[in-house]
Every structure is written in C-alpha cells, then in structure tokens.
Amino acid sequence: MNEWEWHLLENKAACDSVEIQGACLRPGDRVQLNPRKGGDIFDLALAGRIATIESIEQDYEGKLHVCVIVDDDPGRDVGLLRQPGHRFFFAPAELELVTNAPEPPVSETVSKKILIAGIGNIFLGDDGFGVEVANRLLQRSFPHGVRVADFGIRGFDLACALMEGYEFTILVDAYPGDAAPGSVSVLEVFLDNLDSSQGAGVVEPHAMNPLNVLRLAAGMGAELQRIYLVGCVPATLGPEEGQMGLSEPVRAAIDDAVQLVDSLVFQILQGDWPRTK
C-alpha cells in the first residue's frame, strides 16, 4: 500500500466490528496473523505473530481492512498512537481470533499519565463536540497510562478524576472564538491564578463549567499539572428548548480533532510537548 493509498484509508471512518470465522471482532481483540501466500517481506516476517486490533477501516473502494499492532513490536506504543511504520493492515480473512494469548508487554518508556476528557452537553447543539470526539477516541487503543473518558456534563466526576494525579489533562470541548465555526485549536489552561475558593462550591453534579471543576479539584487537594483544551468554535448551541446533533462545520471538524488529540498525545509521550516552558 503506497502513501497515497494510506492517506485515503486514514480518511475513512472506522467501523465498529468485523466478522471473522463466525466471530464478531472489535478493536482491542487479540488475533493471530496468517498472511496470504505470495505476500511481501512484511507478510513473511509477521506470519504467526499475535497482534491487537487497533481499528477496522474501510478503504476508498469499500473494502474492509483490519489495522493491528503487533504485540512484540518494540515500537508498538508508536503504533497505538496511529503513527506510520508500526501499524499493519490485513484483510479479515488473514486473521484468526485468539483467546488465551498473554497480554502484550507494557512499555517501560511510557511513564506519563494522560487524561483525555470529552465534555459538553449533547442536548445543546455544538456543545456536544467534546462528547463526540471522546466517543471516537474510545474506539481506539492507547498506550498504558493514557485514559479516555466521556464526562459529558458530569462535572463532579471530572473533578474526582483529576484527583488521580495526571501529568497532562486534555479537555475536549466547544470553545467560542473569533475563527470560523468548525475551527479547532489547542490552548493551554494557565493555573497560576486559579483560586480554588471561587466557584468551588457551585459545581452541580449534572452540569459542566470547566473552570469551576478545576477550582473544585484544586480545593479537594488535586495536584493539577499541565492542562490543555482542544476546542472547536461552535456554529450554534441550539434554541432554548435544546437541539440534538452537531452543525455541519463542527461535525466536519471531528476527524481533525481526533487526529489533533492523537498528535498531541504522541508528542507528549515523545517528550516533544510542550515545546516551550
């Protein structure tokens, strides 16, 4: 598969599952690789290896391809972050489900704890952006230490999660700005002037005000470290009676946001982020 084909494949939406030998397989399932005869050198090298399904993709011709991360690949953590060179595509017929294989090794190089938190209200139009991105990310596998969660409007639950000592927290949410609707950007939340006494007592169990949640967490003793926001400019938050579903420009930005979070996590784990102190 050449680079052009690979990029086309990356732009296709992931599938939830695929049927292999009568079994329904999903991302995270373990498989044995049985490449078809007449393949290339990579097929010969990977024959018989145990791998984990990272995603199930559909190419530009409508064919299904299963992306796997090989268990004993020294760069498997790079593959889990969807970087080229450590992700391998196979046809469903080339895979066999395994149920008794040992768990893949945990890389000793991955030591950073990262929380990716999707937040927002799905009943307020584009405010559901963070929830949609989190649900996409939950379909993927990430290296050990990286947690993805859809908090929605559960502010108290997010505050409790921040008590777990994450070195990096990535909040994904709608964020008003001067750019066009659907524009996605990364901002750092500076905590120097965060006063835990302001708003700490007004966090509702079923409401989400990110700053109040951070104040509450700080007041509860959380050691907040680097916090970033992957934000998308909304087109509409809907009428007073509410609105389900994202606007067209914000829905079109979901794939970009997912790739941006992937890239951010990859750079954090490689020590390339933050670029400046």
Higher pLDDT, 165 or 139: 165
Class of the domain covering 3-97? mainly beta
Residue 182 reports pLDDT greater than 60: yes
pLDDT of amino acid 163: 92
Six token digits for residue 40: 């290339």
Tell me the pLDDT tens digit for each residue of 216-262: 898 888 889 999 999 999 999 988 878 889 999 999 999 999 989 98
The dotted CATH code for 114-269 is: 3.40.50.1450
State the pTM of this model: 0.64
Q: Which amino acid is at 207?
A: A
pLDDT of amino acid 204: 59
The rounded distance, in Å, linking the Cα atoms of 172 and 155 is: 14
Look-up: residue for tokens 């750092």?
Answer: 188
Indicate the domain borders of the chain: 3-97, 114-269
Rounded to the nearest integer, the mean pLDDT of the chain is 80
The rounded distance, in Å, linking the Cα atoms of 57 and 159 is: 35
Q: Average of pLDDT values for 10-33?
A: 74
Q: What percent of the chain has pLDDT over 90?
A: 31
Q: Which amino acid is at 148?
A: V
Q: In sequence order, what DSSP letters do the residues of 7-49 get, joined into one string?
A: HHHHTSPEES-EEETTEEE-TT-EEEE-PPTT--HHHHHHTT-
Residue 110 reports pLDDT greater than 60: no
